[in-house]
Structures are given as structure tokens and as C-alpha cells.
Amino acid sequence: METRKYRDRADYMVKAVTKRRKRLREMAVDYKGGRCNVCGYDKCIAALEFHHEDSAKKDFGLSDGLTRSWPKIQLELDKCLLVCSNCHREIHERITQPLVETSK
């Protein structure tokens, strides 16, 4: 019985972490305007990615760093540009240039 209870609890914890990550991702995307900064794509949140404008300033990857506290994530987000996965590849291949943010 004890083992079973433990397993249920572990299962619950895993689900809670997944839920939290998903929520943080939604918050992060929302914080960055909710759409691709290059083409305006906003159909699928899973296809939006964070591009570090200056990779030297990168403290942690936002794709796997969503276990951090929200204020820390926000600091990291301020160094990023929200783009869709297509534009992200194009930026890295230097086919497209991200728009320079003038609001900061």
C-alpha cells in the first residue's frame, strides 16, 4: 500500500511540473508580445521560440530553463526576441534579419 501511495504522489509531482512549465511558457510568450517578431506568426504557441540577440549574454536556455523563478526568466526574456521556428532557423542561417527593438 505504501509503495502505491508513493507512486501516486510521484506521478502527481511530475504532472504538476509539466503544468507549471506549460504555464511559464505561455507567460513567457505573452510577455514577449505573443507573436513572431519577424513575420507576425501567432497560430501555434509551440512553434514560437526565443532567439538570443547576443548569445554571449545568454545565462540559460529558455527552452529548458523554465524551471527558474519568473523574475529570473523575465531578465532572460529581456535579452531575447520572440520568433517562430521558421524565422528562427532563417536568422541562424542569416537569411533573415530580426527587427531591432526600438522600445528599449
Q: Which of 24, 36, 81, 82 binds Zn ion (CB under 5 A)?
A: 36
Q: Does the footprint of Zn ion cover residue 41 (CB under 5 A)? A: yes
Q: Which of 28, 38, 62, 82 binds Zn ion (CB under 5 A)?
A: 38
Scanning 10-18, 21-29, 43-51, 84-92 for contacts with Zn ion by CB under 5 A, the matching segment is 84-92
Element (H, E) at 89: helix 85-92
The cell numbers describing 98, all together, are: 530580426
Q: Does the footprint of Zn ion cover residue 82 (CB under 5 A)? A: no
Element (H, E) at 24: helix 2-31
Q: Does the footprint of Zn ion cover residue 81 (CB under 5 A)? A: no
Break the chain down into helix, strand, coil percent, rounded to 5: 50, 10, 40
Closest distance of CB 83 from Zn ion, Å:
5
Cα radius of gyration (the chain) = 17
Binding site for Zn ion (CB under 5 A): 36, 38-39, 41, 84, 87
